[in-house]
Structure 1
Amino acid sequence: MGNWLAGGSSAGPSGGSSAGPSGGSSAGPSGGSSSAELPDLTSVPADKLEEFIQANLKPNEECLKLIDQDVDAISDFLLSRESPVVRVAKGGSYGRETVLRGCSDGILVLFVDQFHTFQEQKENQSELLSLIEQWLKTHEKYKPAKFGGILVVLLSTQGQRILLQLLPAFDPLCFSQNPSSKVYRDLKRSMDRVRAAPGEFAVCFTTLQQQFFKKYPRRVKDLILLVKHWYHQCEEKWMTSLSLQLLYALELLTVYAWEQSCQGENFDIAEGARTVLGLIRQSSQLCVYWIDNYNFEDETVRNTLLCQLRSQRPVILDPTDPTNNVGKDDGSWQMLTEAAQAWLYSPSLNNVSPAPHWNVLPTSLFITPSHLLNKFIEHFLQPDKDFLDQIKRAVHTICKFLKENCFQDQSTKVLKTVKGGSTAKGTALKSGSDADIVVFLSSLKSYDSQQNERSMLVREIHRQLEDFQKTQELEVKFEISKWEFPRVLSFTLKSRSLNESVDFDVLPAYDALGQLRSGFPSRPEAYKELIELYKSSNLRGGEFSPCFTELQRNFIEPRPTKLKSLIRLIKHWYKQCQRKKRSKASLPPKYALELLTVYAWEQGSGMDEFDIAEGFRTVLDLVINYQQLCIFWTVNYNFENEPMRSFLLTQIRKTRPVILDPADPTGDVGGGDRWCWHLLAEEAKEWLSSLCFELPKMQTPGSCGAQMYRPPPLWVECSQVGIQFWDENAK
C-alpha cells in the first residue's frame, strides 16, 4: 500500500475529515509526532520499557472512545441507507486493538448482499466501492477520499488519528463465528479459478481476526505496541516504508511468543521484547501457525496448509486464512534481522548476563519432517554441553558440602548423596529440566522415620545451604526457592552466560537399599519392608521412590544416546500437550512417558541406531492404546519369592494402564484411571497427521505416476502390549 499511512492532516477534535493521506501533517505512523522525536529504543533501559509504552505509545482511552463513535456513525449511516451493506466488521490495527498513539491504520469491512461468492467480490468490488464513495460523500461530516483505488476516511480527535480504509467484501461466514471446512474449500477453489493472489480474500475473515486478538490480555497488546514502534523506527532509519502485512506478521509473532512461553498475564516486558527479537533473528527458521479456525482434518484444507508450511521460511500464517502467509519475505527480513540484533544486544536491553528471555522455538515439532527430527532435537532440545559440564561441577560441589559439612555439629550424618532426575539420566531438555539430589541420612532408620522427620530435616538443609551459598562463587547462579515446602527443598542453577537452567529438588531419604554392589542392593529386605508398609497403610504408591533414585537412574543412564534423544523428543511433545491441556484435568506423569519410550525401544528396535520417526510414532500409538498397557520390568524385583510375587500379581491386575516403576514396585506411574490418559490419547491421534510421520514420497506399482506418503512402521503393535503379563500360576 506504499506509504499512504505516513501522513494526513488533522481534523481536530470534532471528528471526520475529508483530508487524505497526502495531507500536510508530518506526523509519523507511530505517534502524534514523528517517532524520531521519541528516544531511540536502544537507549531506553529494560526496566523502563513498560513506562515508555504507557507514556508514549498507548493511545488515550477517551480519544479512542470518540473515534469509536465516529466509526459507529459511519457504519450506521451505510447500514441505514438503501445500500447492499448488511453488516460491518472492524479490522486492521484498529480492529485488533493494537492502535499506536498518534496515527494508525484501520479497516471497515462492508459485507454486502450483492456478493455471493469470492469470485463476485473480485469481479465487482471496484464498482461497488465507487458507489459507496458516492453515498458517503452525501454525509455532512465524514468525507471520503480515494487514493490509488483505496477509499479512506481520516478520523481525528485530539491528536489521535485513524486512517480508516473502507472495503466491500463477500461474507463467507454468514454471521457464523465458527467457519466450517467448506468455507475454506470454497476459498481455495475460488482462488484457483480466478488466479487470486495469496491472502487476497483475507479481508472476508476480518471478524475472525478480531475475535482471535480479542482473547489476549492487554499486556500482550502493549508488547505488540512496543514491537510496532520499533518497526516504525526502523522504517525512519532506512527512509523506506515497509508493508502493513509485515507489521501484522510481527503482531502475530508477538502473540506466538507469549502463547508458547505460558507466561500468564503478568510478564516482564523486556523478556518479551528479547524473545520476539530473538525469533526475528531466526527468521530463516520461522514457521508459525494456528489451528483455531482451520486444521488438518479436511483433505483440501490440509493440503493447502501443508503447502504453506513446506514453503520457504519465514512462514507466519494468518490464523483466519490458510492461504495468507503474512511473513513471506519481500526482502525486508534481512534488514529486520540486523535491526533486531542491534536492539537485542544494546546495553539497555542486554543489561544483565544472561539477559532472560522466554524459551520459544522458531518452529513447531508438528510440522518438522521425519528426516529433520534428529536436527530438531540437536538444535532445539539438546542442552549445551558447556552448561551441562558447569552443572555437573556445581552439583558435585554442593553434594560434597552436604556430605562433609552439613549436620556437622549434630548426631545426624549424611551417608551418601545421589543425583537423580533427567540431568543425571542424560535426558535433560535445553529448558525446564529437572534434577534431584537425594540425601541419605543416618538418623532415618526406616520408611516411617523418613515420613515423620522429613520436614524438620528439609528446614535444616535449607539453613545450611543458604549459609553455603553466601560463601561460594560457582560457575552457575545458585537460587534457593523462596517457597517452603515440607517434603523437598527446591533450588535453581542458572547459567551465567546462557539462557539455560535446571531446577533441583533436595530430598532427605532413608537408605533402604544400602550400598549398591554390581548394581544390586546390599539390603534385599528393602522391598519386603516397603510392601508390608504399603499394605498396612493408606500411602500412595511411589511415596518412597526417592529411596530408589539410584536404581531409577541406573535403569536409564546406560541406554544408547539415540534412545535418550527419543526420550527428549517425547518429553518435548508431552510439554506441548501440557500447554494445550493446562486448564483441564491432570495428565499422567512425564516419567510414565519416559518408561513407555524405553519399553517401545526394547520391544521394537533394541538397536543403538534406529529411525527416530518410527520410535516416535510407536510411542504415540501406545499412548492411543493406553487401556491395554500393562508394562513392568524384572531387573530389580521379580516373581521368584513371596511376598513380592503376590504383590506384583495384584499390581498387574489393576485397571489399565499399568506401568510399574522398575525401581519401585509400589509406583504404578500408569495409574489406571488416576490420570487423564484419554486427553493425551486425543492429542496423540491428532499428531498422527503430523509431518513428523511422512516418509519421502514413493511410487507404487500401477500408480500411474501418482505419489503417495507412507507412514513409518510401528515397532510394537498394540496387540503385543502386555506380553510380559504373568499368569497367576506362573512358576
Structure 2
Amino acid sequence: MGNWLFSNGPETVYEMPAHALDDYVQFSLRPTEDCQKQIDEAVDSIYATLQEATEPPVVTHVAKGGSYGRKTFLKGSADGTLVIFIGDLEKFQDQKEKRYEILDKIWQRLRACRLERRLAARMEMLRPDGGLAIRLYTKYQCVTLDVLPAFDALDLSGKPSPSTYRDLKRALDKARASPGEFSVCFTQLQQNFFNNHPRKLRDLILLVKDWHRLCQKRLEPRSLPPSYALELLTVYAWEEGCREEDFDIVQGLRTVLGLIQQQEQLCVYWTVNYNFEDETVRNVMLGQIRSPRPVILDPTDPTNRVSGDKECWQLLKEEAQAWLSRPSLQESPSWNVLPTPLHETPGHHLDKFIKDFLQPTKTVRLQTKAAVGIISKFLKEICFRNSATNVQKPIKAGSTGKGTALKTGSDADLVVFVNSLTSFPSQRAERYSVIKEIKRQLEAQQQLAAEPDLEVTFEISKWEAPRVLSFSLKSRRLPGPVDMDVLPAFNALEKLRPLWRVYAQLIAQYQEHPDTPGGEFSACFTELQRDFVSSRPTKLKDLLRLVKHWYKQCERRLKKKGSLPPKYALELLTIYAWEQGSGATSFDTAQGFRTVLELVTRYQQLCVFWTVNYDFENETVRNFLLSQLQKPRPVILDPADPTGDVGGGNRWCWHRLANEAAEWLSSSLCFKDGTGDPVPSWEVPAVQTPGSCGAGVCPVVNEMFSCRSRGIPDWKC
C-alpha cells in the first residue's frame, strides 16, 4: 500500500492513482467496523426504548433508511433516516396529517428516559423546522438520522402488492402530496434492494459519492443531482455491465462517469417491486419514463423520480468529463452499458433504440474499414513475398461483412484464401502453419519499422493448433485499436465449380472422416454466408442487431451456467422469422423481436433450413440433407454449409436461453405498445414446411414431412 493514503499524500480522490482506489476506499471512505457497531447498537437501543412504551403512538417496528440503512454512508460525517412505523396510522394520508404530533410524542418519550446516558455513542436530539433528528457520535463517525413516522404499507410477508401502489397513487392525489413523499413507507424494501448486491459494489458507490461530495463543494451554491440517484446509477451500471462479486473498481467508475456524460438519454428503473401488469401502476410508470431525461426511479416507489432536473446533471456531466480526461483513468476500459436498458424500452421506441445505441457510427465504420485495408495489404504484399504461398483474396467476414455489426467495440473477421490450401483435407492439416507464418511476419514487421505503421497484440489461444489468429491492431492511421480474427481457408467455391460438386466433395470429406465437427470448413463458404445476410433489407439488419444485443446480455448473465447456442443460430432464426412472418422491407420491430424470442422458447420443435445454395437434386447432397433434418431438434442448417447445424440438438444449452426468452416475453416493456397493450407476434411455424424453403424441394422431402405429420418414423417413411 502506497504512502499516498497518509500524510503528505494526495488529499482527494482526483489525485489517487488508479491502482490505489481500492485502498483509498478501504482506508479513507469506508467507516470502521467499530464505529458502525457502536452506531448500530445505539439505534437498536432507541428502537427498543420506543417499542417498550404502551401508550400511543404504538411503534410496531423500525427501519434504517437513507445512506445509513443502505450501508453506503461515508466515513466521518453521514446522514440517514430512522423510520418509525406506527400502528395507529391506517393509511398513507395519516402519515402526513399526524407527522408532527407523533414526532412531539417520540421526542418527549426519548427525553423522559434519558437514553443518551446509556449509549456507547453520544446522542443529541435536534428539532429542525418542527421535525426530529437524532445525531450519534463515535470517536471517528457522526451520523445524523432524521426520524420519520410512517404508515406500514407492506403485507405480513414484507412485500408490496399492486393494491399497495394503487393506494399510494390515490393517497398522493387526495393529500396533494409530492411524488415520492411516502417513499419512507418502503424503506425496508430499499434496504433489501441494496443488501442483495455484493459488498464491493458498495465500495464503488462510496467512491462515486466521495467524488459527488467534492463536486458539490466546488460548485456551491449550485445544486447537483441527489446522491441517491448516483447510488442507483452505480447499481445499474454494475447490473448491466458486470454482475461479478469481484471486479475492477476503475472500470466500474469509468462506466458510471460515462453514463453521467450521457445524461440526456438516461432512463433507469427496476421492476423488482412493481411492474406494468396493474393498470394504475403502469400509467404511473409510463408517465415517468416518458418525462424529459434523465429519469431514475426509486426501485421501491414508482412515483419517486430521484434524478432531479436536467440543469443539475449538466453541471455533473462537465465534472465527469474532466475526471475521465485525467491520465489515471484513461488506461482502463469501461463496461458496455447503455444509458437506457433494452428490457425497459417500449416496443414503439425500439427503432430509436437501435439507431441511438446499436448502429455503428461513421467513425467506427471507417476505423474498421481502415483496419481491414491495412491487414489486407500486409497479407497480399508483404506477408508471403519470400515464399511460394500467396494470398488469392482476403474476404471481410462476420458481422462487419454482413452489415450487422454493433456500435460498441471495433472488430473485424477476415477470411484469407491462400493457394497453399488446395483441398478440404489440406485446409485442416496445414492452416495452422499458415497462421504461424502470418503471426511471425506481423511480429517481424512491427520490430523492423523505425516508426511502426502497425502494432499488434496477440490473444493467447486455448487451443493447441487454433484455426484462427486473433489480435488487436493499433496503427497511426487508426483512432483506436481494432480486434481482428484472421482465418486461412481453401478457396473451394472457385476451385470446385459447379456448386453441387463443391458440396458433394464437402460431404465426402465428412463421410470419410466422421469425427470431423459439423461446420469445420464453413470459412470456405464465407462469401455465401455474407451474401445471404447482406442482401437483406436494412430494417431486417437492424432487427438482427437487436437480437444480437439481447443475446449478448443473456450471454453475460449465463456465462457460468453452460454453453449457449452460437450467435449465428439466432441470426438465422431471425431471418427465418422475418421470411415466414413478414417478408416486408418495413415492419414492426417489436413484432419481429417477439416472434424470434417465441421461437427460442419452442427450440425443441425447431427445424429450419434453406435451399438457396444447395438443394435436393443431387443424390449425395439429398441423402446428407435428409440425415441432417432427422437429427434431434433444434435443427438450424447454415444456408451456405449443410454440414453446419447451428441448432445443434442437445449440444448447447438452449433451455437456458429459452428461459431467458420466456422471462423477457412476460416482463419486458419491449413487447408493449405506446398504450401498454401487448404487441402481437407473427405467425411462424417452428418447423420449416415444404415449399417454404425455396425452389428445389423434392417429392422425397414432401413425403418425409407428410410421414411425420401422420406419426410415421422417418426411417420407415
TM-score bracket for this pair, using the shorter chain length: 0.7 to 0.9
- 2:186 corresponds in structure 1 to 205
User: What are the equivalent positions in structure 2 for 1:649-668 lying under 5 Å apart?
Assistant: 649-668=626-645
Contact 1:394 1:474 in 2 (8 A): no
- 1:572 corresponds in structure 2 to 549
Which moved further from structure 2: 310-319 or 63-72? 63-72
Which moved further from structure 2: 265-274 or 498-507? 498-507
The alpha-carbon distance between structure 1 residues 575 and 112, as it changes in their structure 2 partners (threshold 3 A), is same
- State yes or no: 1:336 paired with 2:311: no
Partner SS for 1:207: helix
- 1:112 corresponds in structure 2 to 86
- State yes or no: 1:548 paired with 2:525: yes
- 1:59 corresponds in structure 2 to 31
Within 2, Cα distance between the matches of 1:548 and 1:511? 8
Equivalent residue for 1:481, pick from 456, 459, 476: 459
Size of the aligned set, in residue pairs, is 676
Within 2, Cα distance between the matches of 1:143 and 1:330? 37
Report how far residue 248 of structure 1 moved: 0.1
- 1:77 corresponds in structure 2 to 49
Equivalent residue for 1:196, pick from 177, 190, 194: 177
* Letter in structure 2 aligned against 1:479: T
Partner SS for 1:649: helix
- State yes or no: 1:68 paired with 2:45: no
User: What are the equivalent positions in structure 2 for 1:108-147 lying under 5 Å apart?
Assistant: 108-137=82-111, 138-141=113-116, 142-147=123-128
Partner SS for 2:304: coil
Contact 1:377 1:568 in 2 (8 A): yes
- State yes or no: 1:236 paired with 2:217: yes
User: What are the equivalent positions in structure 2 for 1:18-33 lying under 5 Å apart?
Assistant: none
TM-score normalised over the length of structure 1: 0.82
Partner SS for 2:308: coil
- State yes or no: 1:300 paired with 2:280: yes
* Letter in structure 1 aligned against 2:518: G
Within 2, Cα distance between the matches of 1:46 and 1:729? 63
Report how far residue 426 of structure 1 moved: 1.3
Equivalent residue for 1:527, pick from 500, 503, 506: 503
Equivalent residue for 1:325, pick from 270, 284, 305: 305
Within 1, Cα distance between the matches of 2:174 and 2:475? 56
Within 2, Cα distance between the matches of 1:187 and 1:300? 10
Give CA deviations for 1:66-118 in whole Å, capped at 9, x if unaligned.
Answer: 32332233233334444733332222111212111210112222233333433
Contact 2:456 2:472 in 1 (8 A): yes
Contact 2:364 2:407 in 1 (8 A): no
The alpha-carbon distance between structure 1 residues 687 and 196, as it changes in their structure 2 partners (threshold 3 A), is farther
Report how far residue 449 of structure 1 moved: 4.8
- 1:633 corresponds in structure 2 to 610
Report how far residue 286 of structure 1 moved: 0.9
Within 2, Cα distance between the matches of 1:367 and 1:101? 35
* Letter in structure 1 aligned against 2:179: P
Within 1, Cα distance between the matches of 2:373 and 2:292? 46
- 1:380 corresponds in structure 2 to 357
Within 1, Cα distance between the matches of 2:459 and 2:555? 23
Report how far residue 484 of structure 1 moved: 4.7
* Letter in structure 1 aligned against 2:405: A
* Letter in structure 2 aligned against 1:360: V
Report how far residue 647 of structure 1 moved: 1.6
Partner SS for 1:324: strand
Within 1, Cα distance between the matches of 2:24 and 2:324? 17
The alpha-carbon distance between structure 1 residues 70 and 432, as it changes in their structure 2 partners (threshold 3 A), is same
Within 2, Cα distance between the matches of 1:79 and 1:410? 89
Equivalent residue for 2:290, pick from 294, 310, 314: 310
Partner SS for 2:463: coil
* Letter in structure 2 aligned against 1:252: L
Report how far residue 161 of structure 1 moved: 1.0
For the aligned residue pairs, the C-alpha RMSD in angstroms reads 3.5
Contact 1:514 1:523 in 2 (8 A): no
* Letter in structure 1 aligned against 2:507: I
- State yes or no: 1:271 paired with 2:251: yes
* Letter in structure 1 aligned against 2:361: D
Q: Tell me which protein shows more helix as a share of its residues.
A: 2
Report how far residue 257 of structure 1 moved: 1.5
Within 2, Cα distance between the matches of 1:301 and 1:90? 26
The alpha-carbon distance between structure 1 residues 651 and 165, as it changes in their structure 2 partners (threshold 3 A), is same
Report how far residue 494 of structure 1 moved: 6.4
Within 2, Cα distance between the matches of 1:600 and 1:153? 62
The alpha-carbon distance between structure 1 residues 485 and 654, as it changes in their structure 2 partners (threshold 3 A), is closer
- Identity among equivalent positions (%) equals 54
Which moved further from structure 2: 151-160 or 444-453? 444-453
- 1:704 corresponds in structure 2 to none
* Letter in structure 1 aligned against 2:637: L
Contact 1:270 1:349 in 2 (8 A): no
Contact 1:437 1:507 in 2 (8 A): yes
Report how far residue 638 of structure 1 moved: 0.6
Report how far residue 665 of structure 1 moved: 0.7
Structure 1 unaligned residues grouped into runs of 5+: 1-36, 698-707
Report how far residue 715 of structure 1 moved: 4.9
- 1:5 corresponds in structure 2 to none
- 2:707 corresponds in structure 1 to none
Within 2, Cα distance between the matches of 1:411 and 1:330? 65
Within 1, Cα distance between the matches of 2:202 and 2:262? 22
Within 2, Cα distance between the matches of 1:178 and 1:501? 49
The alpha-carbon distance between structure 1 residues 510 and 356, as it changes in their structure 2 partners (threshold 3 A), is same
- State yes or no: 1:281 paired with 2:261: yes
Contact 2:107 2:132 in 1 (8 A): yes
Within 2, Cα distance between the matches of 1:423 and 1:405? 24
* Letter in structure 1 aligned against 2:110: L
Contact 1:430 1:500 in 2 (8 A): no
Contact 2:616 2:622 in 1 (8 A): yes
Equivalent residue for 1:395, pick from 372, 395, 404: 372
Give CA deviations for 1:485-533 in whole Å, capped at 9, x if unaligned.
Answer: 33233223469899976533233334443459xxxx5574332233234
Equivalent residue for 1:150, pick from 121, 127, 131: 131
- 2:708 corresponds in structure 1 to none
Contact 1:466 1:480 in 2 (8 A): no
The alpha-carbon distance between structure 1 residues 276 and 407, as it changes in their structure 2 partners (threshold 3 A), is same
Partner SS for 1:563: helix
Report how far residue 324 of structure 1 moved: 1.3
Give CA deviations for 1:426-477 in whole Å, capped at 9, x if unaligned.
Answer: 1110125654223445554554454455555544443333333445678886
User: What are the equivalent positions in structure 2 for 1:325-724 lying under 5 Å apart?
Assistant: 325-329=305-309, 331-345=311-325, 347-348=326-327, 351=330, 356-406=333-383, 414-432=391-409, 434-453=411-430, 455=432, 457-471=434-448, 478-486=456-464, 487=466, 488-493=468-473, 502-515=482-495, 521=497, 524-535=500-511, 537-685=514-662, 686-687=664-665, 690-695=668-673, 711=679, 714-718=681-685, 722-723=689-690, 724=692
The alpha-carbon distance between structure 1 residues 595 and 239, as it changes in their structure 2 partners (threshold 3 A), is same
Report how far residue 255 of structure 1 moved: 1.5
Give CA deviations for 1:153-174 in whole Å, capped at 9, x if unaligned.
Answer: 2111123111122223233334
Partner SS for 2:41: helix
Structure 2 unaligned residues grouped into runs of 5+: 1-8, 117-122, 704-717
Report how far residue 537 of structure 1 moved: 1.8
Report how far residue 416 of structure 1 moved: 4.2
Report how far residue 277 of structure 1 moved: 2.2
Contact 2:577 2:684 in 1 (8 A): no
The alpha-carbon distance between structure 1 residues 73 and 459, as it changes in their structure 2 partners (threshold 3 A), is farther
